[in-house]
Structure 1
């Protein structure tokens, strides 16, 4: 059996997220599995590095699958990109060691969230950014990012109700890049909880606009109460940029 690694780019706005559901035609995983199964004559199940929510995009999602096919990686790449919808692109197909696992072997991820920060909305950016009209203090947001970085229990910044597994994660960096009206927030960490980036973003914008104080971040870490953090911002501005492996 071969173990095949896929690097995938997709526009998530038409889909219910990554994970295959009952209606697999509306999920990224389901779409790719359908084409692979038809191509190989096997029942293919792919393992993603993690789930992305409905409406979230990816520039570098990673998945792997096992197959007995004699097709080469280049042939698989060509066939997938020919048969998949144009909003799902396979960027790379690689033969990897048998023990490689896209989820368990991942050591970290990078996400970006885009904010269109001006009074006037954009007809072109609206599907890939969050329109936020209030003035933002970049210095306060930078200070908020510094407080959020490091190893913490992020359950207060997650939509998880309960978890038997650890909710401690380490944020290696959070950076802010402003280019005109468009502001990119970039998060690098060893893992992310459900809705974590979108809630962190709601919190950072609340601090940048003066609705929350920096000290409230410490309170959320201490009390672990989701309602004390900012709102969960919309999914269409969130991108999975890259998945890291040793």
Structure 2
């Protein structure tokens, strides 16, 4: 068997998430159906680096899969890209080592989150940016977001019911800026891993800080107390993008 690594992007609007699930449309299942056609009807399993939720988008999701023979990687990419649904794009394909695993090889991720702070909202971007129609102080959010950088236990920013026991993660970059072209707020987070709904919970908290309904030091309190009830609401998934994944060599 030959292992292939691919970078894919997708519009998450009509997906119930990346991971295959019964009675729901997923990115993984759509790719596996395409690969089955390209593999003469034989089943192919796709492994992803992360499991994005319903409505969440990706620019740089990484997957891997095995095929029984060596293929020309550009022809394989073209076949995957053109035979997959229009809301999935296959950006690149390369042959990988037999021990490469998209999920388990050590890597870091970068997420972006877009917030439409306009009144009224931009209806053309309703699936691609989360609308927040209340006043926001960008400087307060820029001050507060720096408290997320570093190695912390992120229990206070984790959705209830997660099965992950170790909630310590390292965030290497956290910033929020105003895009002068769109007028949207762009939150960026990079780190060695993120817990279930962690990014969306961090954004929800920062928006409350920016709106003056939480103090600028609330991030430190949440990290210290490890209490989800002290954080803000979970921001909607339509503003979230898995931007890029970096693997250690």
TM over 0.5: yes
Aligned to 1:140: 140
Q: Secondary structure at the residue paired with 2:86?
A: coil
- 1:1-80 equivalences under 5 Å are 1-23=1-23, 26-41=25-40, 42-80=42-80
Q: Is the 8 A contact 1:160 1:193 kept in 2?
A: no
User: 1 CA distance for matches of 2:75 and 2:213?
Assistant: 54
Q: Is the 8 A contact 2:2 2:70 kept in 1?
A: no
Compared CA separation, residues 185 and 31, structure 1 to 2 (3 A) = same
Question: Structure 2, unaligned stretches of length 5 or more?
Answer: none
Aligned to 1:91: 91
Q: Among residues 221, 228, 231, which one is paired with 2:230 in the alignment?
A: 228
TM-score, normalised via structure 2 length: 0.94
Once the two structures are TM-superposed, the CA of residue 72 in structure 1 deviates from its matched residue by 1.8
Once the two structures are TM-superposed, the CA of residue 102 in structure 1 deviates from its matched residue by 0.5
Aligned to 2:197: 195
Q: Is the 8 A contact 2:20 2:29 kept in 1?
A: yes
Once the two structures are TM-superposed, the CA of residue 185 in structure 1 deviates from its matched residue by 0.6
- The root-mean-square deviation of aligned C-alpha atoms, in Å, is 1.3
Offset from partner CA, 1:148-200 (integer Å, 9 cap, x none): 11110111101043545310001101122212421111110110000000000
TM-score, normalised via structure 1 length: 0.95
Q: Where has structure 1 moved over 4 Å in runs of 4 or more?
A: none
Once the two structures are TM-superposed, the CA of residue 37 in structure 1 deviates from its matched residue by 1.4
- 1:127-206 equivalences under 5 Å are 127-161=127-161, 163=163, 165-180=165-180, 181-206=183-208
User: 2 CA distance for matches of 1:69 and 1:205?
Assistant: 50
Aligned residues: 245
User: 1 CA distance for matches of 2:136 and 2:12?
Assistant: 28
